[in-house]
Structure 1
Amino acid sequence: MTQKKPTSRRQFLGQTAAIASASLVPFGALSSRVSAQSPNERPRFALIGVGGNGTRTAPVGQQFADLVALCDVDAKHLAHGNGLLCDGKADLYGDYREVLAQDDIDIVQISAPDHWHTKILIEAMLAGKDAYCEKPLTLTIDEGKLIRKVQKQTGRVVQVGTQQRSSMNFFNKALAVIADGRLGKLYKITVGIDAGGWSPEISVADVPEGLDWDRWLGPTPVMPFRYLQDPKKDTDRNYTNGHTHFRWWYEHSGGKLTDWGAHHIDIAMLGIAAAGQNNDPVSVGGSSRHDVEFKDGVPMQDNRYNTAREFDLIVDFADRDVQINIRHDVDNGILFEGERGRIFVNRGKLVGKPIEDVATKPLPKDAIAKVYRDMPIMGNDRDAHWANFTHSIKHRTLPISDVHSHMKMLNVCHLAGISCRLDRTIHWDQTTEQITGDELAASMMSRPYREGYEIEM
């Protein structure tokens, strides 16, 4: 294990404070180490969070930058990732702050669990790093406001890992068809994101060797580690409140609504905009089901998955002609219905008569480029998404999945989660970015950070 000399907490805080005080300049005004490099010098990046999604996305990043450091609170993840990704040659860290203190690291990829995203990302931007951060970007609505503020102040480039925005074969082609008027005005969009996770009661268990459970919990409340292996399965299927299954606990995530919702609701809202309609949300409500009892939005049972299992929710917009219906019980994907036709798109197909008609009536040559903000199209899906990120770093521009447009969509996901937890319609003012007429719901726009894990500004 290669380790660099630790930077003291005092030194690190001094560095971030200096960067913060010097960074109140308009977006795009800052120069960067990456943009100043010669064409033959590749940027260096660190992977923070070396679990499943981290090891899936980092190899794509390695096409564009050199992966030189890994950080995780689980020693087993570090050892596995080092062998898999770096031939055992990476610098290894258990504390992400030591990564941010290294001035020879240009980029960080943040693939830690959802509840860590905001804290690490903000401190990375203040430390002068550009960042690729997995979705969902935040755990709460107010975290998104802070991220957007810091991004504008620092001018750092942040690409959110909603790689469907860089899908040329399916999602961008669907948006191009909509933008070309082939569906006419949209009136209904059905978003299928499947049911949420289920678990039996999960008992308290010993923390696995090598896992720093307190640091894994980080900003979220203290709770015991829980683990139960499914006795009906020969494989290592398990139920836990830790790795992978954190997304089924409101303490750490938003369930299916922020997991798959962050992908498909994103495309649905881009579709409304592509049709020339107003996609400012005004309310979210409907029906849902949890496997545990709730009181005032708080789960009353602590030993089972507690995010919404089922949901049938309606999102209304400032353009009252169109609605999004978020469901668990339809095909995974997005069904766009308009005055002139309908199309269905997911990661495996794009179908519908307006798509068939493209064969005889082709889209304009620049149709897909326009919905991709006229940025270079360099590949498809994950490859194109990382390429777009590095292009944006070089030119100091907003990437295709910037934090500002991402948070407008993600706020809908968060509002949906609050609606499910309180079992009522939530009303939203897009201008002030506030929940209106519901004091309890409005209080759920933020959460306190555990002492010792506050964001270091």
Structure 2
Amino acid sequence: MSVNSQSRRQFLQTSTAAAAGSVMPYWFSSRPTLAQEAAKSPNERPVVGCIGTGSRWHAVGRHALNFADCVAVCDVDALHLDEARDIVKREQSKKGRDVAVAMYEDYRELLDRGDLDIVTIVTPDHWHSKIAIDAMRAGLDVYCEKPLTLTINEGKQIISVLNETQRVFQVGTQQRTEMGQRFLQAIAMIRDGRIGDVQKVTCDIGGAPTSGEIPVVDVPRGLNWDMWLGQAPMVDFRFKEGGRWGNSRCHYEFRWWYEYSGGKMTDWGAHHVDIAQWAIEQNGDGQGPVSVEPVSVEHPVPFENGYPTQPDQYNTATKFEVKVMFENGVEMRIVSNSSDGNGILFEGTKGRFHVSRGRMRGGPVEELESNPLPDGAVAEVYGGRKPTSHMENFIECVKTRSQPISDVWSHHRAMTTCHLSNIAMRLGRTLNWDPESEQIVGDSDAQQWQGREQRKGYEIDVPV
């Protein structure tokens, strides 16, 4: 181990001891920001490897470079890989850090390096769980984009390994931090009783697109299609021109195939359902839905026994309404379209209001002008002061060995609601759920959908 690596790891250990004696929440401090500290002291910068360097990485990866030194990038697409290496070298050079950047097609080779502290995982959804589990078992802390899982069982497996390894793990639901100041205020209003007892929550998460027939074409040069598919079944590569990214089974458009994602239900549900369950206090152990009913659903292709029958078109639900009942009596509606638009509508015994990334509106919001929330009410949502950013919170927690603001346990509870909704829509029937045992009740066929078949060579070796 190099002198710099020893110093860096010593710093991380020292920070852990210092944090143990602090009474302030882990993401708050009056000292200079982490970015300012890291700029002054190179040995205080964790070493990061970036796994997955496509479109979303351009935000996540670049932000990580403010706090960590990147020594390795990994992607199964050679074009993404070359571009990421050049970006990292250029950005680190601007900061006077000319660090060698290795490139890998296979993430396992990156994990075997032995000189990393953290990884960012910004791959398609169906790869998140296996890579995250392998990274934790390699002794690394993890920042992984949402949605963290493709199935309910994957959430249980990640939590099992997280408990076993005691790593720091941040889920990329940035709506809890830099995107989320209005959402924090919404939760504070609910906790202050501004709408009385919450009775109903509507999450408008938008619908998915259709593609029409997508032809089989040759796999693009430089793309390892077998590894891109990973646990998913081996199928032909498909692509046609259209839209921003083209229509395909790959890269950005993976979101609209159940084999790799969950459509809008997991893409935006990971944000709005997460905030909603946080607000109604249904994101902890033993909490969650008790029933999930598919009120209406439209898929772009025919389904048989829950599976799409055509391989040549996007197959996730385009329009839907799902009714979710929680054990505390609150009703949640997850919809693809509402009169209020994208966002969350909270309705209680004393009023209602709507919150989105762009605005808040409703009588209780207007009343804030004459009757503001108590001092510290918004901060109390986090148990203290406002955090700076999602990535900075993660790096701070790496140093203090504390739990990040977007933790795996609460994310798993929100994703369970989303996964159950997708299962109910695909099977076309209401599901009953036991949030304590985390099992579908009274439907043995539906229980099989809590996991998925894993292609040989890409299995996750963790008991459920």
Counterpart contact for 1:184–1:275, Cα < 8 Å: no
Question: What is the aligned partner in structure 2 of residue 353 from structure 1?
Answer: 363
What is the CA-CA distance between 1:250 and the residue it aligns to?
0.7
The 8 Å contact of residues 419 and 426 in structure 1, kept in 2 or not, is answered as yes
Alpha-carbon distance in 2 for matches of 1:151, 1:100: 17
C-alpha change, 1:221 and 1:303, in structure 2 (3 Å) is same
1:122 is aligned to 2:127: no
| Deviations 1:6-29 (CA, angstroms, capped at 9, x unpaired) | xxxxxxxxxxxxxxxxxxxxxxxx
**Deviation of 1:362 (Å):** 2.2
**Superposed CA RMSD:** 2.1
Change (3 A) 1:255 1:34: farther
Cα-to-partner distance string for 1:137-170 (whole Å, 9 max, x where unaligned): 1110011101001101110011000111114531
Structure 2 letter corresponding to 1:212: N
Q: For residues 410 and 32 of structure 1, do their structure 2 counterparts lie closer, same or farther at Cα, with a shift above 3 Å needed?
A: farther
Q: Which residue of 1 aligns with 2:120?
A: 109
Name the counterpart of 2:380.
370
**Who is 1:280 aligned against?**
288
> One-letter code of the match for 1:453?
Y
1:265 aligned to which of 259, 273, 282: 273
Quote the Cα distance in structure 2 between the aligned partners of 1:319 and 1:262: 21
* Preserved contact between residue 345 and residue 355 of structure 2 (Cα < 8 Å): yes
Q: 1:424 to 1:155 in 2, by over 3 A?
A: same
TM-score (norm 1): 0.87
- In the alignment, structure 1 residue 97 sits paired with structure 2 residue 100: no
Flag structure 1 segments of 5+ consecutive residues without an equivalent.
1-30
Q: Is the 8 A contact 1:170 1:349 kept in 2?
A: yes
Aligned partner (choices 49, 53, 59) of residue 56 of structure 2: 53
Report the counterpart of residue 18 of structure 1 in structure 2: none
Residue 62 of structure 1: how far off its partner (Å):
1.7
Does residue 415 of the first structure (1) align with residue 420 of the second (2)? yes
Structure 2 unmatched ranges of 5 or more: 1-7, 16-36, 92-99
Deviation, 1:83, is: 2.0
Q: CA deviation at 1:352?
A: 2.0
Letter in 2 for 1:227: F
* Structure 2 SS opposite 1:170: helix
What amino acid does structure 1 have at the position aligned with 2:59?
R
C-alpha contact 2:174 2:180 (8 A) present in aligned 1:
no
Alignment partner, residue 228 of structure 1: 240
Partner AA of 1:165 in structure 2: R
Q: Deviations over 1:232-268 (max 9, x none)?
A: x7xx541100111111111111111000111111111
Q: Distance in 2 between matches of 1:368 and 1:67?
A: 35
- Within the candidate set 43, 46, 55, 1:43 is matched to 46
Q: Which moved more, 1:133-142 or 1:33-42?
A: 33-42
Q: Is the 8 A contact 2:56 2:122 kept in 1?
A: yes
Corresponding letter in the other structure for 1:292 = V
- Do 1:269 and 1:279's aligned partners in 2 also have CA atoms closer than 8 Å? no
Q: Distance in 1 between matches of 2:223 and 2:130?
A: 20
Amino acid at match of 2:447: A
- The structural deviation recorded for 1:32 is 6.7
Separation in structure 2 between the aligned mates of residue 34 and residue 170 of structure 1, nearest angstrom:
35
Letter aligned with residue 146 of structure 1: Q
Contact 2:203–2:335 (CA<8 Å) still a contact in 1?
yes
Which residue type is aligned with residue 116 of structure 2? I
**Distance across 1 between alignment mates of 2:54 and 2:283:** 38
- Superposition misfits of 4+ residues, deviation over 4 angstroms: 31-34
How many equivalent pairs are there? 416
Contact 1:178–1:275 (Cα < 8 Å) also in 2:
no
What amino acid is the match of 2:220?
P
Match in the other structure for 1:24:
none
